[in-house]
Amino acid sequence: MAAKIIDGKAIAAEVNEETRRRVEALRAAGRIPGLAVVLVGDDPASQVYVNAKAKKCAELGIHSDKRVLPADATMEQVLELIGELNRDPRIDGILVQSPPPPQIDEEKVIAAIDPAKDVDCFSERNVGKLLIGKEDGFRPCTPWGVMLLLEKSGIDPAGKHAVVIGRSNIVGKPMAALLMQKAKGANATVTVVHSGTPDIARFTRDADILIAAIGKPEFVRGDMIKPGAAVIDVGINRTPNPAGGRDKLVGDVKFDEAVEVAGAVTPVPGGVGPMTIAVLMSNAVTACERRK
């Protein structure tokens, strides 16, 4: 039996509709939420994401301020810009597109962002709040997007074995923290596997919920999936199109095989990606609502 394909685009549209209503309410009260998106350098993939975020802001009535610094920008220049955006009253949220060029110390840049404007939930303070389950920080965009996908697809993690492949600060670690939270919509038993795990398949085969976030194209094969499991593919890997033209996007899961074994699976594109942007928009509006 073929798996149910989870429609991330449709679920993101629901979340965005709710965000649009919140923006309307703010605007009626004379407030316009503002998001600054900082891009250092000219990486083509980063440009695509940054433009997608600005476009979604426009659709939802959020003011967006795209700031591009050259690939050889210095730390001083980046920190100067962050300082300016921290002080700018029109800006509620600040995002610095990751990864920056090598001369930029990303950790220092994140630390310079006002935690009240840290809509990525990357700062030490907001990651700390997330870990202790405090609700007044922000939701990490991709992991929270995954939690919403599960909830809105009727998949309750409570009592299930969730296996996260990958331990990045952006996805793997916060994903594990959210899934294990003692809260409605979470409460899973969580295993995290990574590049230091011998025999990853031994764990993934026991997963009721499998989250792939390792950045290796089609790493998860059909024989690594428990029959009926929910498989969430966070990977976005660009591979040159053999026919020329636009790069092909593939996830961290071999979709054609997963669909034969899993109970539910997210596609790439059209799965987690649109949810990441939807949560970012929601966070920007939350930042504005709190500042009232």
Considering beta carbons, is residue 174 or 188 the nearer one to ligand GUE? Answer: 174
Site string for ligand GUE, 139-158 (x = CB under 6 A): --x-----------------
53 is catalytic: yes
Instruction: Classify residue 185 by its DSSP letter.
Output: T
Q: Tell me: does residue 123 bind ligand GUE (CB under 6 A).
A: no
Residue 52 Cα to chain centre, angstroms: 14
Supply 201's token pair: 């398949």
- Buried b / exposed e over 55-88, threshold 16 CB at 10 Å, is ebbeebbbbbbebbbeeebeeeebbebbeebeee
Angle at alpha carbon of residue 132, lines to 130 and 136, rounded to 5°:
55
Coil, strand or helix at 251: coil
Contact yes or no for 4/65 (Cβ under 8 A): no
From the list 182, 248, 179, the residue with the least C-alpha distance to 211 is 179
Measured from the CB of residue 227, what is the shortest distance to ligand GUE in angstroms? 26
Q: Tell me: does residue 98 bind ligand GUE (CB under 6 A).
A: yes
Measured from the CB of residue 164, what is the shortest distance to ligand GUE in angstroms? 17
Q: Which of 16, 64, 97, 123 binds ligand GUE (CB under 6 A)?
A: 97
Q: Given the rule CB under 6 A, which of 25-33, 94-102, 126-134, 188-196 is the region that contacts ligand GUE?
A: 94-102
CA atoms 228, 7, 97, 127: torsion sign: negative
Q: Tell me: does residue 276 bind ligand GUE (CB under 6 A).
A: yes
Could you give the residue ranges of the DSSP H alpha helices within 88-189? 106-112, 124-132, 141-152, 172-180
Residues with Cβ within 8 Å of 256's Cβ and at least 6 positions away in sequence, in order, are none
Supply 278's token pair: 């939807």
Number of residues that bind ligand GUE (CB under 6 A): 18
Q: Tell me: does residue 269 bind ligand GUE (CB under 6 A).
A: yes
Q: Tell me: does residue 210 bind ligand GUE (CB under 6 A).
A: no
Contact yes or no for 87/272 (Cβ under 8 A): no
Q: Which of residues 17-76 bind ligand GUE (CB under 6 A)?
A: 48-49, 52
Q: Tell me: does residue 274 bind ligand GUE (CB under 6 A).
A: yes
Measured from the CB of residue 116, what is the shortest distance to ligand GUE in angstroms? 17
47 is catalytic: no
Supply 283's token pair: 């966070």
- Among all residues, whose Cβ is closest to ligand GUE? 273
Considering beta carbons, is residue 48 or 71 the nearer one to ligand GUE? Answer: 48
Site string for ligand GUE, 156-195 (x = CB under 6 A): ----------------------------------------
Task: Report the amino acid identity of residue 99.
Answer: P
120 is catalytic: yes
Measured from the CB of residue 52, what is the shortest distance to ligand GUE in angstroms? 5
Binding residues for NADP(+): 166-168, 236
Positions annotated as catalytic residues are 53, 97, 120
**Residues that bind ligand GUE in the complex, under the rule CB under 6 A:** 48-49, 52, 95-98, 120, 141, 236, 249, 268-270, 273-274, 276-277
